[in-house]
Structure 1
Amino acid sequence: MDLKFAWWNCGLSPPSTKAKKKEPNLGFVISIITLLDIRKVDVLGICEVNEQDIDYINGIIQSLENPDLQLVNLYKKHGNSIEDFCLVYNSKKLSITSFGESLNTWDSVTDKKLKAGISAKFILNDEVPLSIILCHWQSRKSYPHESPQRIKLGATLRANIDEILAVNANSLIVVLGDFNDEPFDKPIQDHLSASRDAAFVIRKPRSLFNPFWSCLGTMDEIEHHPKSSGSCYYQDDGNMTHWKTFDQILFSSAFLKPNWEFVDKGAEIVNDIPIQDVDLAWSEISDHYPVLSHIRRIA
């Protein structure tokens, strides 16, 4: 069985009462259709949407006339606190058992909110449980790079993952998110314990595997994909690199067992959506590209 996971910060409705909303354009529609109908994504997590955006996405899904595609509305608003998610999944391969559990908490010292994520529970079609966590960590404007709050975000999500692994050390867990941190930043690598080293993850099975190290900008990427060398164009921190790999998909060690394999490194920045056909630049759609991981269970 093949499973394709994708994540997209689509940029329509940032989770701030002061943020300016964007209206979905034809490029947005093409992007959703490309991911779900052309690329055949089985699980698509989306952030920076509100309830009107989610209804609009559901309309696109209905137009595809694929009864297997189901949408879960994960949007919540409590005062100034916003959960800006929705999730689309292929009901032919997965059955949802619960959704909407918040993993957020408050820093006990500073009383600052730590938006660690939100979870959904599934069962694969052979009754194997799967946990999916969606993350949209606070921006670097809110919590600066390497600030204590960013470290605590990683530690908070780590504690929630540890709770799952305490019940079953072989749990299938997939984390999709815009972390506003790169794979090598301390909140991801050290405190969430997400490693690029598959051999290390196999030896230390409570760690996570992060295939998105392979999407950091390289000369090869620049030569073959001159539009980007990362998933997000970010220029607010004043350093030498504007393209950041903030968007990542992480996997529990159970996906490194012999009955699973990653296809094409399991990490792709989807920067080839055909928006040129409608004369749009990607910046008119979002400042983030979708990311995709393709895995396969071997008989």
Structure 2
Amino acid sequence: MEKKDTLNKYHTIAFYNLENLFDTIDDKHKLDDDFLPEAARNWTPKRYDKKIYKLGSAITSFGSEDTTNVPVLIGVAEVENKKVMNDLVSSKPLAEFKYDFVHYNSPDERGIDVGLLYQKEHFEVIYSESIPILLYTEDGVRDFTRDTLYVKGLLNGEAIHVFVNHWSSRRQGANETSHKRIKAAQTVKSKINEIKAAENDPHIIIMGDFNDDPTSESIQNHLMDTELYNPMLKLLTIYKGSASYRGEWNLFDQIIFSTNFFDYKKGTHSFASADIFDEDFLTIWKGKYKGNPFRTYAGKKYLGGYSDHFPVYIKLKFNV
């Protein structure tokens, strides 16, 4: 009993890019044609249900070695709408844990958004909003991308501020698109400054797929400061990351938090550890890409895996 009580003091907070979690229904307002039953990818209800089940099963495992509970908060990226969020929290692996979620539709042309799953037993939402990243082309035309999700809530009674991000991709080149991720970082930073002006010593968690590494300009020069800590900085090596591209590891998926999570005070949470969740069942088992994330698709070829990203997580100890 004493060991279980000790484990119950630890709470996992995770982030997971779900790799194109689209439903199988055509949305006339979004570019979702690749993920329909009649599309080249043959995205059928059976394949959709299988992915939902696999993702739910994976989520229950995050951080399980140090706690008896499933993650209390999971930020997610690449979700199409509220339906897929609801299907995920209602899936057989997750239903018993009574998750709810926060989600807003973003203006992203493909219709992929971010969201936050939370376990109602441990987290209470006080306020939430969708924060647009205002990007423009040289001609002054709006370049639509994913909004950042902001949620204020009570984690085991302690007020925390959570940001869930999915910054612009590098598809057109890392240097050519860096200004977009810098703008996203500046947007989040501006909101954090607002919070700090209104609240004394706020506890802040910033998570997401930043499409930049911990050492990139957007994060190092436009987001980080002396009151923020990035535990992922120590996790990226040539052998380990959250996503692999052309044989090289990146750690685009990160969780950053305010340094007051190092403080100890009764009724608050303290940082315990951080890691990449790259367990064997989430990896490709053999061949050229052995050890890489076991993804759902490689191009148009269906592989039946989980995601092309590994989840990342931190553990917080609740001080009683």
TM-score bracket for this pair, using the shorter chain length:
0.7 to 0.9
- 1:230 is aligned, of 241, 257, 260, to 241
Q: Secondary structure at the match of 2:76?
A: strand
- 8 Å contact 1:268–1:292 — kept in the other structure? yes
Q: 1:140, CA displacement in angstroms?
A: 0.7
Q: 1:273, CA displacement in angstroms?
A: 5.5
Say if 2:230 is the partner of 1:210. yes
Aligned to 1:44: 74
List aligned pairs for 1:99-138, cutoff 5 A: 99-107=128-136, 110=140, 111-113=142-144, 115=146, 117-126=148-157, 128-138=158-168
Say if 2:203 is the partner of 1:172. yes
With normalisation by structure 2, the TM-score equals 0.72
- 1:138 partner letter: S
Aligned equivalents of 1:24, 1:10: Cα separation in 2: 12
Aligned equivalents of 1:164, 1:254: Cα separation in 2: 15
With normalisation by structure 1, the TM-score equals 0.77
Give the number of the structure whose alpha-carbon radius of gyration is greater: 2
- 8 Å contact 1:30–1:273 — kept in the other structure? no
- 1:261 is aligned, of 242, 267, 270, to 270
- 1:34 is aligned, of 40, 54, 58, to 58
- 2:13 partner letter: F
Aligned to 2:254: 248
Q: Can you list the C-alpha shifts for 1:52-110, whole angstroms capped at 9, x where unaligned?
A: 422320221676423xx322241415483745123211222211112233243345975
Aligned to 2:39: none
Aligned equivalents of 1:251, 1:151: Cα separation in 2: 18
Say if 2:294 is the partner of 1:282. yes
- 8 Å contact 1:105–1:116 — kept in the other structure? no
Distance 1:185 1:36, change over 3 A: same
- 2:15 is aligned, of 4, 7, 13, to 7
Aligned equivalents of 1:61, 1:135: Cα separation in 2: 27
- 2:31 partner letter: T
- 1:17 is aligned, of 31, 35, 42, to 31
Distance 1:162 1:83, change over 3 A: farther
Q: Secondary structure at the match of 1:147?
A: helix
Q: Secondary structure at the match of 2:60?
A: helix
Q: Can you list the C-alpha shifts for 1:8-42, whole angstroms capped at 9, x where unaligned?
A: 1010248x726733644646523422323673111
RMSD (CA atoms): 3.2
Aligned equivalents of 1:134, 1:42: Cα separation in 2: 15
- 8 Å contact 1:116–1:153 — kept in the other structure? no
Q: Secondary structure at the match of 1:46?
A: strand
Q: Secondary structure at the match of 1:292?
A: strand
Aligned equivalents of 1:33, 1:71: Cα separation in 2: 16
- Quick one: percent identity of the two aligned structures? 22
Of the structure 1 ranges 102-111 and 51-60, higher mean CA displacement relative to structure 2 is found in: 102-111
- 1:20 partner letter: D
Q: Secondary structure at the match of 1:190?
A: helix
- 8 Å contact 1:138–1:180 — kept in the other structure? yes
Q: 1:288, CA displacement in angstroms?
A: 0.3
Say if 2:114 is the partner of 1:85. yes
Q: 1:115, CA displacement in angstroms?
A: 4.4
Q: 1:147, CA displacement in angstroms?
A: 2.8
Aligned equivalents of 2:200, 2:126: Cα separation in 1: 20
- 2:167 partner letter: W
Distance 1:273 1:93, change over 3 A: farther
Aligned equivalents of 1:298, 1:261: Cα separation in 2: 7
